[in-house]
Structure 1
Amino acid sequence: MRVTPMQPDEWDDDVVKALSVMVSPDRMERRDVGSALSTLVRHPKLTRAFLRFNGYLLFGSTLPERLRELAILRVAHRRNCAYEWQHHVEMGAEAGLAPDVIDGVTRGEASDPLDQVVLTAVDELEVDSNVSDATWAALSEHLDERQRMDLVFTIGSYGLLAMAFNTFGVVPEQEN
């Protein structure tokens, strides 16, 4: 680990304030925030700002939850981010992604046309930092403008998180 998770006994008011943006009062009381947030909170001001944005993507976005998780899983796979992959496999299943759909994410393949175009959008953004006209048009058949915008920001945000987690050495909780 390049950036070690902050231990609960190290928390100060800035840490609590940063985490309160996304962490439930129950988890805050137990000081059980997981390895990712414990690591990010080494920089409380940055964490607070990022969690506000990430909270929107998770809880306020116009993008359907299932498609959000599909996109995040493709990003996690492409970026080889074990932490993101593990957490979003669980979240994806809760959002309705079947095991065969999650398996297809690793190959960039989906039987559903909308799922496929979401995976294609992730791949294009990862390679070119742009979605092709054909992919944008295909997304437009299913998603409104705000949903397409939320998709792009979701892919970008989780790409950023994967970079941070991989660089800082964040590992899934059971590997700590």
Structure 2
Amino acid sequence: MKFDARITRRSLIAAAATLLLAGCGAGGPAGSAPSGSAGAGSAHSDPVAAVAWEAALDPEAPFMNVAGQDGAAMPGECWMQHEDGTVQVQVAGSSIPEPAVESVEFADGVLTLTMAQPDEDTPATMDFVLHQFMVSGTDAPKVAAVVLVRGEETVELPAGELAELEAVE
């Protein structure tokens, strides 16, 4: 069997954008409580920490661009909070297996998503696809930053905005 290692221009751009954004991490958040807990381990009672956050993969969510970048040709990993309090997080990963959020934590305005790490024996594709997660909580507070944790890697995601696709006439 012959291995075909061709890379499409689109997958190369997505991989380059992912690597570029991954290198801009700013470290982890300053403490957090487990998802759904009411400030577990903290000495004070914080009603914001009592919000039970849930993350769901949403293939129908619109793509986002990193704020300040023009066009929709190269969207990257980013996040934005919608008016209803839902936080949309766009991450890159292989199409198989789809990424999954293991836990969601919130402390001091920082929403931290820890991604589940697939078993080493799990087959995976070598492509990079953008995935949209909608993170919601009852009476969700204002989020100031989103941190993504993948294994040993911790990255603070830049803010994003919905991509406005140009109409083809």
Q: Under a length normalisation based on structure 1, what TM-score does the superposition of the two structures give?
A: 0.26
Structure (1/2) with the larger strand percentage = 2
More helix by share: 1
TM-score by length of structure 2 reads: 0.27
